[in-house]
Amino acid sequence: MRFSQFFLVAMFICLKSFSQQPVKIITLDPGHFHAALVQKSMYPQVDPTVYVYAKKGSDLNAHLDKIKGYNAAAVAPTKWIEKVYEGDDYLTKMLQEKKGNVVVLAGNNQLKTDYILQSIQSGYNVFSDKPMVIDESGFVKLKQAFTTAQKNKLLLYDIMTERYEITTILQRALSMQTALFGTLQKGTVAEPAVTKESVHHFYKYVSGSVLTRPAWFLDTKQEGEGIVDVTTHLVDLVQWECFPNTTINYQKDITINNAKSWNTTITKDQFSELTKLNEIPSYLKPTTNANNEISVLSNGEFNYTIKGVHAKVSVIWNYKAPEGTGDTHYSIMRGTKANLIIRQGAEQQYKPTLYIEPLVASVDFDKTAQQIIATISEQYKGVSLKKNDKGYEVIVPESFKEGHESHFARVTEKYLDYLLNHNMPSWEVPNMLAKYYTTTQAQKMAAKK
């Protein structure tokens, strides 16, 4: 073998070996349970040793307890090894030590955008919980982070779990069937072409246990207002479903028409039940009245146009869901031939259920619907239709109903695929920017009111 050939073969082996190096996770300042949910599953590409950098305190302890719980699970236990650095200089230490190559972020959103930017500037890939920004100034930093990531060939991506909910997947798939759905209507402000609504609860169960919320979760300066938090998922789904595989230009394609925010009141007893704290911290005093009731600007709604299509998103936070219920989701896509609707109310036993409702019922439409579902069921085995007064209920086998916590494994697997194979679609980054432009501009408009 000639030297030049030997050199090329050696380089190929070296590069291949480098590309197959395990992903090494760093968890930075975990303050939200989503950081732990990333580790509810193991991944063959990921080193089981995870480096955690944070201040000492209850947020860190809660995170580590969840990881211990996953490691000790009776079914599919994980095998994570947590190497923890505790100290006030945790960020500086993390940036200097270079223990890993992917920083996982889920916690205080006031700090998160700076964490993203500094991690990217220091050569780390970033896998971040939503929202990556909570205001207009944060959006400027996010743009800088994406520019730096592109320049240095790093991957910055947010955790969009709702793309992996089966009813949403099928709603998107059916909306692309023009024989059934037609085309997406343009809609109006009064009757948007697409509406997505989400109801959440401060008191909830995670991995079988009542979740302890950090006190700062009730401070919108740290957590972000509701209009920029959960709505991140809703705006993402509007883009992902209505304009599949299409690049959104936030400077040209988006106009906010109206926006508003309003409070949820948390009593002193509810605060203590949520946080396990007896005293309300000083940073919550400005939003606490004489009766020790905390006003949390956690609810938001806005109407906007995206590529000429009218869309509406809204999020509501209540304290606790009625017994036997939980967080709920409503979604409608209005087509020229049929509407595709996800409902999750009492009639659906609080489980997301997809419906097809034709604008004009006919034998031909029924035949078309059955043919299209038969085609879709080749990929999603067992999906079928059940006729009702307004059209059809889409019947989904239980095997596809993974639940919110399992979706973290799906989106993490997608991130790892993008990271290792360099195959992230070109529309993802501009559409992340479009998403956060939409939420922060809506927050800005609502704040003026």
The number of domains in the chain is 2
Residue range of the domain that includes 373: 163-408
290, 293, 298, 301 alpha-carbon torsion, rounded to 10°: -70
Same domain, 326 and 199: yes
pTM of the model: 0.93
Same domain, 16 and 42: yes
Same domain, 86 and 222: no
Q: What is the pLDDT of residue 403?
A: 87
- Asked whether the beta carbons of 28 and 103 are under 8 A apart, the reply is yes
| pLDDT tens figures, 287-327 | 999 999 999 999 999 999 999 999 999 999 999 988 778 88
Same domain, 318 and 233: yes
Same domain, 66 and 91: yes
Same domain, 216 and 100: no
Same domain, 194 and 154: no
Q: Kindly report whether the peptide bond that precedes residue 430 is cis, defined as omega within 30 degrees of 0.
A: no
| pLDDT tens figures, 395-447 | 999 999 998 899 999 999 999 999 999 999 999 999 999 999 999 999 999 99
- Residue 377 maps to a domain: yes
Token duo for residue 408: 């973290």
Same domain, 268 and 398: yes
CATH code at 183? 3.30.360.10
Token duo for residue 289: 């009245």
Single out the residue of 299, 396, 406 nearest to residue 352, CA to CA: 396
CA distances from 358 to 25, 303, 333, 361 (A): 48, 25, 12, 6
Same domain, 81 and 18: yes
Whether residue 1 is predicted with pLDDT greater than 60 in this model: the reply is no
